[in-house]
Structure 1
Amino acid sequence: MQARDMAGDRAEGVDSPTESGRPWLQAVAAVGLVAALCTGVWVSGALSDSGNAAKPATCSGGEPTTAAGKAHVSGAQLCKALNRPDLAELLGTPGQIAKTASGSDSSMRLFDSKEVATPTARVEFETYTVTLNGTFDRLPVAGSASLLGKDAQQRTLLGRPAVLYSDQTISIRFRLGGGDTQTGPGVPARVVSVARNAKDSGGSFEVTLWRSDGRVPDDAVLLRIAEQVLPMVPGWTANG
């Protein structure tokens, strides 16, 4: 989390990922981000005041999500899969301690009025931030590279269709004393989207990675995390 002074008032800035590469999801992304950002500020402050010895953040929040009459993986479950003890080592930053870890549940209604569950988890370190999102829609991953930018690459990961592509976080700044929230482009991020099952019958899990220094993350790091984290998501093997 970055902070700077704006017109004499203290302002907080947070980078958050855009809502996957699906254009119809981006319009509702900001709604969930505001609540998540407020939670992140509170958690960060609580950790810094809890004592001199830094302790790894533990997952908070998230209840099982129900959409279209079916229970799906919750944000809490995604956070448990993502916030693993060796995550710092997988990032190539052994010794760093997770500052915040959280899972949240949300859903959105599509144009055909069907509700889609979109749970998410986020773990933030000093150097990196990693998120794990699930989307339980009927859209396949195969063939989606053409919609995700010129550098998008269609791949196979863990035996399932996948797409590796670039994205950019959204920088959200708000005055602690009140006032208008300001949004703008953040830092570059790399994303890998993997089909929920080998048949690619719809839905995906996305791992997003960005650096606090604004440098483009290494794809090898992103893929290494995805390969270790995704098999830990409940139901992954059953959907293989």
Structure 2
Amino acid sequence: MAHDIDALPRGAGAWGQAVTAVVTIAALAGGLWAYGEVSGSAGSTPYTPSCEDDGKPGATPPEPGRAPRQLTGQRLCEALFRPDLAALLGTPGEAPSSVTGSDGSHRFGSDEEIATPSAEVEFPTYTVTLTASYDAVPMADTAEYLNGAQKQKILGRPAVVYPDRTISISFRLDGSDAESGPGVPARTLMVAQDARDSGGSYDVTLWRTDGATPDDATLRRVAEKVLPALPGWQTAR
């Protein structure tokens, strides 16, 4: 028997994807601090998914009155895991099956370690992820390294939307080596972390369980509600 999951290839933002793809699965990645499933194991009390950090590393709050310089997976999850997220996805009434967060990082170029915290919420129809990349690469350069990228403006900031694809990973229950292959189509919207486009991005990604390509209107609707809820976000003028 085998257990299949879909995950995005992870790198340090778009530049990392152009040079080297590193698979990071939220439920297995280092720095995982939150995980909930709607149905508990046999004999246990069902656990409701939440963004509680359980006191694990990576969830230290910022100093009072100050926005964090870099966000943690917990902060991203708190912005992403909204009560109306299912409605924003066009599937009102669906309950999330899992909520995950990771305070991961990626080594890029001259061994520089770049923080890439992320959060993911999985529903029966959609999976949506929110990632922060602190790679100092502006959107103006990002589009040159992504096939099919389209430049846009989101919430007054430079943005890029592009096609992506998950990686399907099959874990065999008999202990033999895992197998991987192409997964389902995904769409990613990368938005500059500031209106000046001085580097770094917030990335919102959608994919569907049935393998259909998510539409950009849904992707944009989610981003326009989720991103302003991030600590330190300032509306562009």
Question: Hey, what's the Cα distance between the residues in 2 that align with 1:239 and 1:73?
Answer: 19
Note the 1:151-230 alignment, pairs <5 A.
Answer: 152-230=149-227
Query: Is 1:47 aligned with 2:42?
Result: no
CA distance in 2, matches of 1:238, 1:220: 21
Write the distance in 2 (CA, Å) between the matches of 1:124 and 1:181.
22
Query: In the TM superposition, what is the alpha-carbon distance from 1:185 to its structure 2 partner?
Result: 0.6
Partner amino acid, structure 2, of 1:63:
G
Amino acid of the structure 2 residue aligned with 1:107 = S
TM-aligned CA distance change 1:77 to 1:33, over 3 Å: closer
SS in structure 2 of the partner of residue 35 of structure 1: coil
Matching residue of 2:96:
98
Q: How does 1:106-117 map to 2 (within 5 A)?
A: 106-117=104-115
Matched, 1:11 2:2: yes
Contact 1:81 1:230 in 2 (8 A): yes
Higher helix share: 1
Query: What is aligned with 2:233?
Result: 236
Secondary structure at the residue paired with 1:221? Answer: helix
Q: Does 1:132 align with 2:124?
A: no
Q: What 5-or-longer segments of structure 2 have no aligned partner?
A: 61-67
Distance in 1, matches of 2:39 and 2:88, equals 23
The whole-number CA distance in structure 1 between the counterparts of 2:3 and 2:78 is: 27
1:49 is paired with a residue whose SS is: coil
TM-score by length of 2: 0.83
SS in 1 for 2:180: strand
Q: Partner residue of 2:117?
A: 119
- Greater Cα shift, 49-58 or 176-185: 49-58
Query: Which of 66, 71, 74 matches 1:76?
Result: 74
Aligned residues of 1:153 and 1:165 also touching (Cα < 8 A): yes
Q: Report how many residues are paired.
A: 223
Q: Mind listing any 5+ residue stretches in structure 1 that lack a counterpart?
A: 1-9
Give how far 1:35 is off.
1.4
Give the 3-state SS of the residue equivalent to 1:138 in structure 2: coil
Once residues 200 and 82 of structure 2 are traced to their aligned partners in structure 1, the CA distance between those partners, rounded to angstroms, is: 24
Contact 1:174–1:182 (CA<8 Å) still a contact in 2? yes
Change (3 A) 1:161 1:59: same
Instruction: Please tell me the residue identity of whatever aligns with 2:161.
Output: L
- 1: CA distance, partners of 2:179 / 2:91: 31
The alpha carbon displacement at 1:215 in A equals 0.2
Question: Structure 1's 173 and 153: CA in aligned 2 closer, same or farther, altered over 3 A?
Answer: same
Q: CA deviation at 1:143?
A: 3.8
Residues 214/95 of structure 1: CA separation in 2 closer, same or farther (3 Å cut): same
| Distance in 2 (alpha carbons) for counterparts of 1:52 and 1:94 | 28
Cα distance in 2 for residues equivalent to 1:50 and 1:80: 29
Distance change (3 Å), C-alpha of 1:53 and 1:106? closer
Change (3 A) 1:229 1:50: farther
Q: RMSD of aligned C-alpha atoms? A: 3.0
